Amino acid sequence: MNKIALITGATSGIGKACAEKFAEKHYNVIITGRRKERLDELQKNLTSKYGVEVLALNFDVRDNAQVEQNLNSLPTEWKNIDVLVNNAGLAAGKDPIQGALLSDWEQMIDTDVKGLLYVSRIVLPWMCSRNTGHVFNLCSIAGKEVYAGGSVYCAVKHAVDAISKGMRIDCLQHNIKVTNICPGAVETEFSMVRFKGDKEKNDATYKGFKPLTGEDVADSIIYCAMLPEHVNINDLVIMPTAQANSGLFFRQ
């Protein structure tokens, strides 16, 4: 019987790369996201390429009723989730705190913090009841540092950092691994989303250096997931070589 990985936000970027790499490792995968056509296409591709079972769940992590309905109605055998990648998330805007949009703050808090909690709240009891499981929380270098225009995004990722620590403490007696993943700049749809389709700002973000790819981050997650039973990476900061911290890049 294949192991099962649930990856939230698998329609793009890091989540999509994780779905591909867990499928390659013969995991059956549950992929989630709001864009149904992308989920359907990924489901088809992974099934035909790797011969694994793929379940696509189309919901918004900000809506707890949708989260509960979709996860609680999983067939019993699909509830034996071995790996949860809490990846769905975003930054909205990069404006000073005194001039930012309330709707941006709410979207980040609702998705990156509350959405992650809604999903974890359902899946963790299943893992704890089986005394096995590995949770990856997509934090960020923004969960370790604070930069101009990033106050609320940094705040939500600092919250993820704290949630990872808390999860690890509370689930300790149930043998659950929790790995907090903190990447620097990864070229995905992240900046197009953050800057609301502004291609110039997106391109400027990655100009003059080689950013990480979703696959680079997924490779690190797979590395952590494949370690022996008694070994856990608690916290992993992964940066482009040309990025020293959240604000310092060597651009050529």
Active site residue 118: no
Query: Residue 120 CB, nearest distance to ligand 8X3 (Å)?
Result: 19
Using rule CB under 6 A, residue 93 touches ligand NDP: no
**Of 22 and 190, which has the nearer Cβ to ligand NDP?**
190
Using rule CB under 6 A, residue 216 touches ligand NDP: no
List the alpha helices (DSSP H) in the chain: 13-24, 36-50, 64-72, 102-108, 116-130, 151-170, 190-194, 199-205, 214-225
Q: How far apart are CA 217 and CA 209, in angstroms?
A: 17
Residue 246's binding partner out of ligand 8X3, ligand NDP, none, with CB under 5 to 8 Å set by partner kind: ligand 8X3
Work out the number of other CB atoms within 10 angstroms of the CB of residue 37.
9
**Contact between residue 8 and residue 87 where contact means Cβ atoms under 8 Å apart:** yes
The tokens of 93 are what? 């805007």
Using rule CB under 6 A, residue 246 touches ligand 8X3: yes
Using rule CB under 6 A, residue 150 touches ligand NDP: no
- What mask, x for binding ligand 8X3 by CB under 6 A, covers residues 182 to 221? ---x------------------------------------
Fill in the DSSP letter of residue 24. H
Residues near ligand NDP (CB under 6 A), total: 30
